[in-house]
């Protein structure tokens, strides 16, 4: 992150982590890398360990009250967080106990200017840091991962691809799965026949209205069959 403001920058994302290289590496492909290179997104990686004050660079300790594992210290995290927090910052803690992250949340996060992702590790994070500094806790699913790095990458990817200029054809975003509560229609490309399976005839007809009807119908069928929860929410 440079001191000079880049006029193209729509979003700054700061990552607080014990393994920042995992995130840096994860962001270095495809459209996400392009968005970062073009300056649409600015990233900054903060090694939490740099804010430890003892000679062993300790960041965690045993839990008060006993129990399994180690807990990340609130004071160390607070110093790391304070080093990058601004008046615009919106702080997200990745946690299996957070709100389940959805496409709607991704859209909302595109409206922020400055995101701070805090990645936990080990048994978790001292609750007082969360109370003091965190605006939102997000989970990426009902399973437990080793750390918040992968969840931070998942959320970053979902947000960055929605920023204007990242995906070249914005129309490709509007008919996507979840965009209007329906899953995407099945897609086909060459060859016309594969293992005896033919591309649906209507897609070769050139009749745009028929194609649109076919696709909408497929989207409805799929959503009903695969995601009755989405379908129900849509028709109520």
Which residues are near ligand SAM by CB under 6 A?
A: 94-97, 119-121, 123-125, 139-141, 143-148, 151
| Smallest separation, CB 125 to ligand SAM (Å) | 6
| Smallest separation, CB 9 to ligand SAM (Å) | 26
Nearer to ligand SAM, 10 or 133 (CB): 133
| Smallest separation, CB 152 to ligand SAM (Å) | 8
| Smallest separation, CB 63 to ligand SAM (Å) | 10
Nearer to ligand SAM, 18 or 183 (CB): 18
Nearer to ligand SAM, 40 or 159 (CB): 159
Residue nearest to ligand SAM (CB): 120
Nearer to ligand SAM, 145 or 167 (CB): 145
Residue found under tokens 């805090």:
118
| Smallest separation, CB 164 to ligand SAM (Å) | 27
Nearer to ligand SAM, 118 or 182 (CB): 118
Half-sphere exposure of 212 (CA within 13 A, CB side): 4
Nearer to ligand SAM, 40 or 140 (CB): 140
Q: Do 183 and 226 form a contact (C-beta atoms < 8 A)?
A: yes
Nearest CA-CA partner of 106 in 21, 173, 39: 173
| Smallest separation, CB 213 to ligand SAM (Å) | 39
């Amino acid at each position: 992150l440079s001191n000079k403001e880049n006029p193209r920058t729509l979003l700054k994302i700061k990552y607080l982590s014990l393994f920042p290289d995992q995130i840096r590496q994860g962001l270095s492909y495809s459209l996400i890398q392009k968005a970062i290179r073009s300056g649409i997104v600015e990233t900054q990686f903060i090694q939490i360990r740099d804010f430890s004050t003892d000679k062993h660079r300790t960041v965690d300790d045993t839990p008060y009250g006993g129990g399994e594992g180690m807990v990340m210290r609130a004071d160390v995290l607070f110093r790391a967080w304070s080093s990058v927090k601004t008046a615009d910052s919106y702080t997200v803690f990745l946690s299996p106990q957070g709100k389940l992250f959805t496409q709607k949340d991704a859209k909302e996060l595109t409206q922020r200017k400055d995101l701070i992702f805090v990645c936990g590790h080990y048994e978790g994070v001292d609750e007082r840091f969360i109370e003091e500094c965190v605006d939102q806790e997000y989970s990426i699913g009902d399973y437990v991962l080793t750390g918040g790095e992968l969840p931070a990458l998942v959320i970053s990817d979902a947000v960055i691809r929605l920023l204007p200029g990242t995906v070249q054809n914005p129309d490709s975003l509007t008919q996507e799965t979840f965009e209007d509560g329906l899953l995407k229609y099945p897609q086909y490309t060459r060859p016309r026949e594969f293992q005896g399976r033919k591309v649906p005839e209507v897609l070769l007809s050139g009749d745009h209205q028929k194609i649109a009807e076919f696709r909408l119908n497929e989207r409805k069928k799929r959503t009903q069959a695969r995601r009755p929860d989405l379908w129900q929410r849509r028709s109520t």
